[in-house]
């Protein structure tokens, strides 16, 4: 619905006062992609974070390669600790995939397994940053 | 005639427009060619197309069918992993991307020719060869490379005649990676779990008559070094009517080390420990890991031709953690088995002598995807980093290579001011060499045919196994299209040249009225006209 990037000025909305008035079901989520670019979108409550990224066509390369079937770790997202602690328990099959994820952290989850809830309003989730690429850029610059 | 004329005109317009578009875009567009239509190739192309709105990417693939190991490597009972095909198909449909199947780079066209035609060439040709065991008896019947065995049940055309004899009770798999576990699972799965997959029908038939009841998965190193991932181990543990048959002694003392292990290794080891103590004793089939053993010799049976067992050397481990080394002792152990599958790794092959190649590591020597001493040449996937990792690893690795190419375009390391002809030049070359490519739309005909053949059996597809047949299907309707077009053209030319005049329906109605008029006096509904000239006269009167 709303994709603004880079976004700093959008007013933070809580689920009780949705802009579009669709029965309080819109939750504001900030996504930070591989290159640090932030997109803020309103996600319908009950949708997974993977659904949100696909529906809003967010610029995250290779996100959700297996289309939410717990067969890869490409929808890996890093949560704020306060949010992570409140998330539902992780099933073994999800941890199996997370164990193979690139840039795994203590607050990592798969976007396909996390359903958006109104209490998440305003949260920020991050895709692991492209460390290797940054190094490449530096090398390319220093060799100029 | 008019309609045909309009059609022909339209066609001409479309072709000219397409030419014009191609011509325009060629002025300044970076042209990149990707060698290999597997995941590495498609992910590299995807990133390039996305990051540069002017980039044109051509993917060359040796087979008429795309997707590489997603089609030919991923186990048939892992259909969810194959969902990546949807993204690859989107990439192939991208207006700035072209897929050219049935082109063997290194034979039909050289890498040097590609480098001349494109600003950048990316080698994404994977790892298609087996790492040999290098032991006596390796060539006995009943011994297979995992790559060939997987190719047999996954429909690699070169492996369709493999016909492995599955009449023995014990199978030994050498290697403890995911491919080894895939093979073990396929050998032990109940048929019902396989028959609704895209496994080849000949493999399904052979497995239906399989006598294999026991699979030993042998590794050189210890339980803390097994190379498989936890998902595959979990699946093995969950197989119905199958129990793990691990040796307690092998896992002795391992519990104490758990707390110091990184999470993935820790969870994998915990699952292994759970397997030792669990299992249904009434199960008819079993699987087991054998640790610290290296193959020494395949033992022949009485006929001297068929494998009847394998001699293993017991190893001792030196060092610790992931860097543990296996050192063989002089203690030997013979295991009776009729099927031996060596799954000790794939390796890349040198596709063109002009490409730098590290024969020891079997990879193209590179720095972050830039091929050493070859400006404009890049690599991604297994040919870049060796045959390890899951699909996400190849995805990240391919994105990295794409980023490096984009950087080189921006920094001027790749000179985009030089105009490159791209596919146009290569198509010309291929044509003179009698090589006809399979376009993505033509693969889609193969795809449709495979899906059609799978349907009656409740399978998502029945893979075609014969390259000739693939080509026939891919090109069949193209010939029909051309024929139809030619007929239309001929009709158009002839009608124009000979001044043929048609009879419209309203004109037929004049003939009809005349026939009815002539029938009336005789009490007949009509008296049919018998002479064409007379019909025409009346029609046009």
Cβ distance A69 to B78 less than 8 Å, yes or no, reads no
My answer on whether B193 and B324 are in the same domain is: yes
If one compares A17 and B269, the residue with the highest pLDDT of the two is B269
Structural domain of B56: 28-128+348-436
Q: Cα separations (Å) of B261 from B248, B257, B258, B270, B273?
A: 20, 7, 5, 11, 14
Chain A CB contacts of B84 below 8 Å: 65-66, 72
**Statement: residue A51 has pLDDT above 80:** yes
Give the residue-averaged pLDDT of B319-347.
92
Residue B151 CB-half CA count within 13 A: 20
CATH for B326 = 3.50.50.60
| Chain B neighbors of A144, CB-CB under 8 A | 411
Q: What is the pLDDT of residues B1-10, one digit of tens each?
A: 344 444 444 4
Of B128-132, B409-413, B441-445, B490-494, the one with minimum mean pLDDT is B490-494
Instruction: State residue B405's pLDDT score.
Output: 98
Does the distance separating the beta carbons of B83 and A65 come in below 8 Å?
A: yes
> Which residues are CB-contacts of B275 (< 8 A; sequence separation ≥ 6)?
B233, B237, B244, B246
Q: Which residue has the tokens 């207006």?
A: B95
Average the pLDDT over each of B84-93, B197-206, B378-387, B469-478 and give the range with the smallest value: B469-478
Of B50, B395, B403, the CB nearest to A136: B403
Token pair recorded at residue B517: 């008029």
Cβ within 8 Å, pair A62-B80? no
Please check whether residue B447 lies inside any domain of the structure.
no
Task: Identify whether the C-beta of residue A96 lies closer than 8 Å to the C-beta of residue B268.
Answer: no
Distance from the Cα of B84 to chain A's closest Cα (Å) equals 5
Q: Which of B307, B339, B308, B342 is nearest to B219 (CA)?
A: B342
pLDDT for res B216? 98
Shortest CA distance from A72: residue in chain B:
B392
Is the pLDDT at A110 greater than 70, yes or no?
yes
Which among B413, B436, B459 is the end of a domain? B436
Over residues B78-122, the pLDDT tens digits come to 999 999 999 999 999 999 999 999 999 999 999 999 999 999 999
- Give yes or no: residues B90 and B151 share one domain: no
Q: Give chain B positions within 8 Å (CB) of A140.
A: 407-408, 411
State residue B327's pLDDT score: 94
Can you tell me the mean pLDDT for B392-408? 95
Instruction: Please indicate whether, in this complex, the C-beta atoms of B392 and A132 are within 8 angstroms of each other.
Output: no
Kindly tell me if the per-residue pLDDT of A7 is higher than 70.
no
Residues B320 and B197 grouped into a single domain: yes
pLDDT in tens, B220-270: 999 999 999 999 999 999 999 999 998 878 888 888 889 889 999 999 999
* Model pLDDT, residue B254: 87
pLDDT of B342 over the 50 cut: yes
For residues B356 and B305, membership in a common domain is answered with: no
Cα distances (angstroms) measured from residue B143 to each of B148, B216, B307, B364: 10, 14, 7, 29
- Tokens 């596709």 belong to B351
Closest partner residue to B86 (CB to CB) among A61, A67, A137 is: A67
Q: What is the pLDDT of residue B14?
A: 43
User: How many whole angstroms separate alpha carbon B191 and alpha carbon B289?
Assistant: 23
Long-range Cβ contact pairs of B474-481 (< 8 A, separation 24 or more): B474/B64, B474/B101, B474/B438, B474/B442, B474/B443, B474/B445, B474/B446, B475/B436, B475/B438, B475/B442, B476/B445, B477/B445, B478/B442
Residues B225 and B333 in one domain: yes
Q: How much is the average pLDDT of B503-522? A: 90
The answer on B61 and B119 residing in a single domain is yes
Asked if residue B529 belongs to a domain, the reply is no
More confident site: B317 or B4: B317
User: Would you say B137 and B342 are in contact if contact means Cβ atoms under 8 Å apart?
Assistant: no
Q: What share of chain A is helix, strand, coil (3-state, %, to 5)?
A: 25, 20, 55
**Which pLDDT does position B477 carry in this prediction?**
66
CATH code, domain with B401: 3.40.50.720
Show residues of chain A in contact with B78, CB under 8 Å: 71
Contact (Cβ atoms closer than 8 angstroms) between residue B79 and residue B197? yes
pLDDT at A131: 56
pLDDT at A66 over 90: yes
Cβ-based contacts of B408 with chain A (< 8 Å): 140
- Give the rounded distance of the alpha carbon of B51 from its chain centre: 26
Structure tokens at A51: 């659904």
Same-domain check for residues B249 and B239:
yes
Q: Reduced to 3 states, what is the DSSP secondary structure of residue B453?
A: helix
The answer to whether residues B428 and B280 belong to one domain is: no
pLDDT mean over A38-45: 95
For B74, phi then psi, to 5°, come to: -55, 135
Nearest-CB residue to A72 (from B230, B392, B403): B392
Using an 8 Å CB-CB cutoff, list chain B residues near A102. 392-393, 396
Distance from CA of A94 to the nearest CA of B (A): 10
Residue pair B195/B459 in contact (Cβ under 8 Å)? The answer is yes
Which residue of chain B comes nearest to A59, CA vs CA? Answer: B50
**Same structural domain for residues B47 and B34?**
yes
Return the pLDDT at B351.
92
Query: Of A17-21, B106-110, B216-220, B426-430, which range is least confident?
Result: A17-21
pLDDT value at residue A2: 42
Has residue B454 got a pLDDT over 60? yes
Model confidence at B355: pLDDT above 80? yes
Q: Which of B231, B395, B407 sits opposite A140 (nearest CB)?
A: B407
Whole-angstrom CA distances from B472 to A77, B62, B159 are 46, 16, 20
Strands (E) across chain A are located at 26-32, 38-44, 76-78, 108-110, 123-126
Mean pLDDT of all residues in B314-328: 89
Instruction: Flag the least confident range among A127-136, B38-47, B448-457.
Output: A127-136
* Residue B310 in domain: yes
Q: Dihedral, CA atoms, A104, A108, A110, A113, nearest 10 degrees? A: 150
Are B234 and A96 a contacting pair at CB < 8 A? yes
Residue B492, pLDDT > 70, answer: no
pLDDT at A13 over 50: no
List all residues 6 or more positions away from B80 whose beta carbon is below 8 Å from its beta carbon: A66, A67, A69, A70, A71
Return the pLDDT at A138.
Answer: 40
A112, A94 Cβ separation under 8 angstroms: no
Asked whether the beta carbons of residue A72 and residue B408 sit closer than 8 angstroms, the reply is no
Nearest CA among B57, B56, B62 for reference residue B36? B62
Q: Please tell me which of the candidates B234, B396, B411 has its beta carbon nearest to residue A102.
A: B396
Neighbours of B30 (CB within 10 A): 20
What is the nearest CA distance from B22 to chain A, expressed in angstroms? 28
* Burial call A53-82: b when 16+ CB within 10 Å, e when fewer: bbebebbbbbbbbbbbebbbbbbbbbbeee
Q: Are residues B96 and B243 in the same domain?
A: no
On whether the CB atoms of residues A1 and A52 are closer than 8 A, the answer is no
pLDDT for the residue numbered B491: 65
Note whether A60 and A132 are within 8 A (CB). no
Mean pLDDT of chain B: 90
CA atoms of B3 and B492, how far apart (whole Å): 9
Query: Could you tell me which residues are beta bridge partners of residue B97?
Result: B57
**Size of the A and B interface in Cβ pairs below 8 Å:** 83
Tokens describing residue B163? 């016909």
Interchain contact, B83 vs A66, CB within 8 Å: yes
Residue numbers in A near B368 (CB within 8 A): 132, 136, 139
For the four alpha carbons of B481, B487, B488 and B493, in that order, the dihedral sign comes to positive
Q: Which of B436, B467, B491 is the last residue of a domain?
A: B436
Residue with tokens 């197309």: B49
pLDDT at B495: 56
Examine the pLDDT at B400 and tell me if it is beyond 70: yes
In this structure, the answer to whether residues B332 and B209 fall within a common structural domain is yes
Given A74, A96, A133, which is nearest B392 (Cβ)?
A: A74
Q: Where are the beta strands (DSSP E) in A63-114?
A: 76-78, 108-110
Distances (CA, A) of A105 to A34, A57, B259: 15, 25, 18
ipTM of the complex: 0.76
Average pLDDT of the residues in B56-70: 98
Count: domains in chain B: 2
Residue B524, in any domain of the structure: no
- Token pair in block for residue B310: 């394998």
pLDDT at B208: 96
Contact state of A65 with B411 under an 8 Å Cβ cutoff: no
Contact residues, chain A to chain B, C-beta under 8 Å: 61-62, 65-67, 69-74, 92-93, 95-97, 99-102, 104, 130, 132-133, 136-137, 139-140, 144
What digits encode the pLDDT tens for the residues B138-166? 999 999 999 999 999 999 999 999 999 99
**Binding site membership of B for NADP(+): which residues?**
176-179, 220-221, 232, 389
- The answer, yes or no, to whether residue A140 has pLDDT greater than 70, is no
Domain boundary among B436, B462, B487: B436
Give me the CATH topology for the region A26-131: Ubiquitin-like (UB roll) (3.10.20)
Asked if B230 lies within 8 A of A130 by C-beta distance, the reply is no
Asked if residues B18 and B104 have their Cβ atoms less than 8 Å apart, the reply is no
Burial class (CB in 10 A: 0-12, 13-18, 19+), A135: exposed
pLDDT at B306: 96
For residues B170 and B246, state if they share a domain: yes
**pLDDT of the residue at B102:** 98
Look at residue A4 in the predicted model and tell me its pLDDT: 39
Does B392 sit within 8 Å of A100, measured CB to CB?
Answer: yes
The residue of chain A with its CA nearest to that of B408 is A140
Q: Average pLDDT, whole number, for chain A?
A: 80
Percentage of chain B lying above the pLDDT 90 cut = 75
Query: Mean per-residue pLDDT for B301-320?
Result: 94
Distances (CA, A) of B107 to B62, B110, B265, B353, B435: 10, 7, 43, 11, 11
């Amino acid at each position: 619905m709303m994709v603004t990037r880079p976004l700093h000025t959008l007013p933070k909305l809580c689920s009780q006062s949705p802009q579009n008035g669709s029965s309080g079901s819109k939750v504001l989520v900030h996504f930070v992609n591989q290159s640090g670019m932030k997109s803020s979108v309103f996600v319908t409550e009950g949708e997974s974070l993977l659904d949100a990224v696909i529906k809003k066509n967010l610029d995250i390369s290779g996100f959700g390669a297996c289309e939410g079937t717990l067969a890869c770790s490409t929808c890996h997202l890093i949560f704020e600790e306060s949010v992570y602690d409140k998330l539902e328990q992780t099933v073994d099959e999800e941890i199996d995939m997370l164990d193979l994820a690139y840039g795994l952290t203590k607050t990592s989850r798969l976007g396909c397994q996390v359903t958006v809830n109104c209490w998440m309003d305003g949260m920020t989730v991050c895709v692991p940053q492209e460390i290797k690429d940054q190094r490449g850029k530096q090398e390319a610059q220093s060799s100029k | 005639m008019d309609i045909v004329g309009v059609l022909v005109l339209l066609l001409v317009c479309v072709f000219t427009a397409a030419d014009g578009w191609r011509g325009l875009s060629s002025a300044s567009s970076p042209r990149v060619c990707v060698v290999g239509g597997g995941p590495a190739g498609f992910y590299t192309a995807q990133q390039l197309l996305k990051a540069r709105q002017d980039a044109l990417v051509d993917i060359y693939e040796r087979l008429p069918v795309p997707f590489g190991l997603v089609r030919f490597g991923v186990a048939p009972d892992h259909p969810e992993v194959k969902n990546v095909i949807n993204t690859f198909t989107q990439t192939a449909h991208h207006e700035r991307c072209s897929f050219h199947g049935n082109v063997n780079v290194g034979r039909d066209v050289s890498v040097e020719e590609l480098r001349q035609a494109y600003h950048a060439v990316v080698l994404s040709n994977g790892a298609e060869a087996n790492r040999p065991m290098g032991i006596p008896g390796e060539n006995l019947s009943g011994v297979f490379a995992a790559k060939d065995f997987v190719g047999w049940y996954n429909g690699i055309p070169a492996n369709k005649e493999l016909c492995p004899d599955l009449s023995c009770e014990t199978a030994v798999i050498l290697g403890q990676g995911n491919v080894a576990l895939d093979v073990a699972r396929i050998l032990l799965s109940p048929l019902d779990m396989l028959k609704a997959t895209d496994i080849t029908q000949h493999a399904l038939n052979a497995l239906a008559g399989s006598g294999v009841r026991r699979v030993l998965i042998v590794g050189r190193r210890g339980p803390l070094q097994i190379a498989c991932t936890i998902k595959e181990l979990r699946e093995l543990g969950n197989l119905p009517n199958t129990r793990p048959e691990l040796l307690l002694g092998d896992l002795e003392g391992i519990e104490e080390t758990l707390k110091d292990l990184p999470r993935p290794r820790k969870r994998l080891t915990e699952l292994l420990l759970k397997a030792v103590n669990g299992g249904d004793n009434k199960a008819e089939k079993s699987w087991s890991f054998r640790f610290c053993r290296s193959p020494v010799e395949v033992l022949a049976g009485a006929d001297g031709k068929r494998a009847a067992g394998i001699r293993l050397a017991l190893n001792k481990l030196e060092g610790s953690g992931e860097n543990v080394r296996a050192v063989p002792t002089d203690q030997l152990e013979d295991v009776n088995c009729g099927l031996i599958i060596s799954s000790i790794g794939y390796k890349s092959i040198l596709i063109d002598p002009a490409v730098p190649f590290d024969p020891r590591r079997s990879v193209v020597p590179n720095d972050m995807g830039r091929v050493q001493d070859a400006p404009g040449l890049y690599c991604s996937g297994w040919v870049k980093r060796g045959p390890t990792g899951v699909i996400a690893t190849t995805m990240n690795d391919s994105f990295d290579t794409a980023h490096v190419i984009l950087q080189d375009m921006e920094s001027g390391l790749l000179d985009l001011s030089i105009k490159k002809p791209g596919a146009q030049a290569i198509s010309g070359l291929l044509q003179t060499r009698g090589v006809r490519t399979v376009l993505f739309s033509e693969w889609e005909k193969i795809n449709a045919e495979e899906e059609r053949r799978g349907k009656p059996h409740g399978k998502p597809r029945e893979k075609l196994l014969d390259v000739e047949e693939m080509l026939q299907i891919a090109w069949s309707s193209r010939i029909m299209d051309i024929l139809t077009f030619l007929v239309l053209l001929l009709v158009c030319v002839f009608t124009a040249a000979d001044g043929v005049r048609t009879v419209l329906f309203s004109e037929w109605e004049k003939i009809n009225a005349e026939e009815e008029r002539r029938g009336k006096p005789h009490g007949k509904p009509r008296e049919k006209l018998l002479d064409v000239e007379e019909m025409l006269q009346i029609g046009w009167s």
